[in-house]
Amino acid sequence: MQTRTLGTSKLVVSAVGYGCMGLEGVYGPGASRQEGMTIIRAAVERGVTLFDTAEAYGPFTNEELVGEALRPVRDRVVIATKFGFGINPDGTRYGLDSRAEHIREVTEASLRRLQVETIDLLYQHRVDRKVPIEDVAGTVQELITQGKVRHFGLSEASAPTIRRAHAVQPVAAVQSEYSLWTRDPERNGVLATCEELGIGFVPFSPLGAGFLTGTIDTTTTLDPKDFRSISPRFAPDARAANMAMVDLVKRVAERKGVTPAQIALAWLLAQKPWMVPIPGTKKLSRLEENLGAVNVPLTPGDLRDIEEAMSRIHVTGERLPEAVLKFTNG
């Protein structure tokens, strides 16, 4: 597996990471504990070194799964987790919470669940507008000094917030949704800010929540528990309109002799050398397919053709429901 360095942080990880959120049933039925252990360890065996989790996934159970699965290979992997949501012991939520005392409590709990002495990369999951980002960065800086955290990250933060945080404690990585059909980080200054400040970028949902794989169309029935069933972009009329995007990816894939998913990931890998997508899957075949994207070269001509075709496609529907979207770009 090829490796990449997240910005100037010296944090070296596999060119494609593994997002663990989907194991909790966000996209339909979740994986059993044994299934989760198996797929995570299969990723390790195939060279993946970056594993992304959060206390909010489950909540709590995803960190426990990741910790158990990776314990035998702890020295070979980078574990990223997150704080920032207010979560009661019974799993109910009360909004966002990045108060210093809460960050410290969550970090201690994450260390226990992950069965590690140090968290490699600790993200603020969502920006808490009630707490100055400088205070958040300062709290994480204290945790780094104490040896409980190695690197600081931000998720779904705006460019000005990234700058303010970075001025207090260097930000190693920023995580946002980014893919062929979600280009916001290009337009809102986040990618430019990361490049200027030497910050790595970790696109989540790099396959458009599965849409860019070509396995979902207007006839696909989504489980009521599937997050996509309430996503505006996956509404029946939006899906019909957005099939033009899938058709584009399929055409390029056919020409290159690979799969649509591999084209979508290869496009991301071609954007910046400090960009590391984190697709997730419960299936070994999909894992191997995703990792195969590192061997799919897209020429400057390929990228120009994709961009030209993209300019004629209008993506229909917001990427998230309004109630969730309000927590982004903080």
Q: Which residue shows structure tokens 């709290």? A: 139
Determine the angle formed by the axes of helices 236-256 and 260-271, rounding to 10 degrees: 80
Cα gap 153→95, rounded to integer Å:
20
- B/e letters for 192-208, b = 16+ CB within 10 Å, e = fewer, are ebbeebbbbbbbbbbbb
Encoded tokens for 92: 């109910």
Give all strands (DSSP E) within the chain, no chain letters. 3-5, 12-14, 18-19, 50-52, 78-83, 85-87, 93-96, 119-124, 149-155, 171-177, 200-204
Look at residue 37 and give its three-state secondary structure: helix
Q: Which of 18, 57, 123, 178 is catalytic?
A: 57
Encoded tokens for 270: 């071609």
Encoded tokens for 287: 């894992």
Give catalytic status of residue 178 as yes or no: no
Residues with a catalytic annotation lie at: 57
